[in-house]
């Protein structure tokens, strides 16, 4: 940004606050006449005033009349009570710790004490429960495809063995029919499992199925302008990076997921709607989805919470 543009930014601020003198306004106009970039960034004087009127409207609409005097009168006392409670709690903790220490010193350890009791008293018996160790390897799961249809854009990630990094997902065009066609091509080439075929069929059904008559009629009467949630930066904004174990395991499959997005565009929750069978792939997809920023869903221009649906297909290849 040049020095003139920096000065113009300050002048725009003065215009916004209604503090600009005539000379400053002239200077701002002259700069805008020469600098197309600043027109786009700050706007003309009317545009600035229009935007700033929003603040005044919001201020004038305020009706909140809080009264803090009642709570304020009790606040110092409450704080003293809080301190007293904290000191008492700390004292009790110390006393308990000292007692526990004394017990350990006298008997060796609490575990040893329980063993002694068990061996000396015939009424009580201590049984040791052994559980099988928890499996650490991700095991393929056999989840059925969800019954409901997904409006899914299918992304394909190829996991190449020697290169320990996933390729960027291939983004397909958004319309569901095109996406479903792309899915069908890709998965057919791979020799799909029955589970994948079911999910693909569900996607194609959603893409091609006509709306029910009564729903179409109601939409025709009051057509709400709805813009669905989309990631900022387009479909390529979500890039999963599975951990190295995915390459060792030759993990592959399709992970479909939903991301709940609040009205500010922040992702709040990721749900796997169709697992790839490999936890490591599902986790990588959800991590990437939660890292992304989203344009929130809007209904008649008003931002609301919404859900973003998407899917990734991972393929393993041996590489060169």
Partner 1 sequence: MDEVVRRAGDAGAVAARVDAMVREYQTKLARYLRRMVGDAEVALDLTQDVFLSAFRMLDADPQRELSAGWLYRAATNGAISYLRRRKIVRMLPLDRDVDRTAWRIDERTAASVDLQAALARLPADQSAAVLLTSYAGYSSHEAAEMLGTTADAVRQRVCRAMRVLRTVMKESS
Interface with partner 1 (CB under 8 A): 9-14, 16-17, 19, 41-43, 47-48, 51-52, 54-59, 61-69, 71-72, 75-76, 262-264, 266, 268-269, 295, 298, 301-303
Q: Could you give the CA distance from residue 27 to residue 11 in angstroms, rounded to a whole number?
A: 8
Q: Could you give the CA distance from residue 183 to residue 294 in angstroms, rounded to a whole number?
A: 24
Residue with tokens 């209904």: 299
Residue with tokens 């029919």: 177
At its nearest, how many Å lie between partner 1 and the CB of residue 228? Answer: 14
Other beta carbons less than 10 A from residue 55's beta carbon = 10
At its nearest, how many Å lie between partner 1 and the CB of residue 40? Answer: 10
Q: Could you give the CA distance from residue 189 to residue 167 in angstroms, rounded to a whole number?
A: 19
Q: Is the CB of 7 or the CB of 241 nearer to partner 1?
A: 7
Q: Is the CB of 119 or the CB of 268 nearer to partner 1?
A: 268
At its nearest, how many Å lie between partner 1 and the CB of residue 75? Answer: 6
Other beta carbons less than 10 A from residue 252's beta carbon = 19
Residue 244, class by beta-carbon neighbours within 10 Å (0-12 exposed, 13-18 middle, 19+ buried)? exposed
- Choose among 285, 293, 299: nearest CA to 152: 285
At its nearest, how many Å lie between partner 1 and the CB of residue 54? Answer: 5
Q: Is the CB of 115 or the CB of 293 nearer to partner 1?
A: 293
Q: Is the CB of 266 or the CB of 317 nearer to partner 1?
A: 266
At its nearest, how many Å lie between partner 1 and the CB of residue 157? Answer: 25
Report CA Rg, the chain. Answer: 32
Q: Is the CB of 41 or the CB of 143 nearer to partner 1?
A: 41
At its nearest, how many Å lie between partner 1 and the CB of residue 66? Answer: 4
Q: Are 15 and 25 in contact (CB under 8 A)?
A: yes
Structure tokens at 48: 């600035």
Q: Is the CB of 65 or the CB of 142 nearer to partner 1?
A: 65
């Amino acid at each position: 940004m040049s020095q003139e543009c920096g000065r113009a930014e300050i002048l725009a601020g003065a215009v916004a606050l209604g503090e600009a003198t005539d000379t400053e306004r002239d200077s701002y106009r002259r700069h805008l006449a020469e600098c197309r970039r600043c027109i786009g960034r700050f706007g003309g004087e009317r545009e600035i005033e229009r935007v700033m009127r929003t603040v005044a409207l919001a201020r004038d609409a305020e009706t909140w009349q809080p009264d803090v005097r009642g709570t304020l009168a009790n606040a110092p006392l409450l704080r003293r009570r809080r301190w007293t409670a904290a000191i008492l709690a700390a004292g009790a903790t110390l006393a308990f710790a000292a007692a526990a220490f004394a017990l350990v010193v006298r008997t060796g350890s609490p575990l040893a004490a329980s063993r002694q009791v068990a061996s000396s008293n015939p009424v009580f018996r201590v049984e040791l429960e052994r559980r099988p160790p928890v499996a650490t390897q991700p095991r393929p799961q056999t989840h059925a495809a969800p019954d409901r249809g997904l409006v899914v854009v299918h992304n394909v990630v190829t996991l190449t063995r020697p290169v320990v990094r996933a390729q960027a997902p291939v983004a397909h065009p958004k319309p569901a029919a095109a996406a479903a066609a792309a899915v069908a091509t890709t998965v057919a080439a791979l020799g799909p499992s029955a589970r994948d075929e079911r999910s693909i069929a569900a996607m194609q059904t959603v893409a091609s199925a006509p709306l029910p008559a009564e729903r179409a009629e109601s939409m025709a009467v009051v057509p709400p302008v709805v813009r669905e949630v989309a990631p900022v930066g387009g479909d390529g904004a979500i890039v999963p990076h599975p951990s190295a174990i995915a390459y060792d395991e030759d993990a592959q499959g399709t992970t479909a997921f939903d991301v709940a997005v609040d009205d500010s565009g922040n992702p709040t929750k990721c749900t796997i709607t169709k697992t790839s069978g490999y936890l490591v792939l599902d986790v990588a997809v959800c991590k990437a989805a939660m890292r992304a920023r989203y344009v929130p869903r809007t209904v008649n221009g008003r931002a609301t919470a919404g859900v973003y649906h998407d899917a990734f297909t991972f393929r393993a290849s041996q590489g060169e």
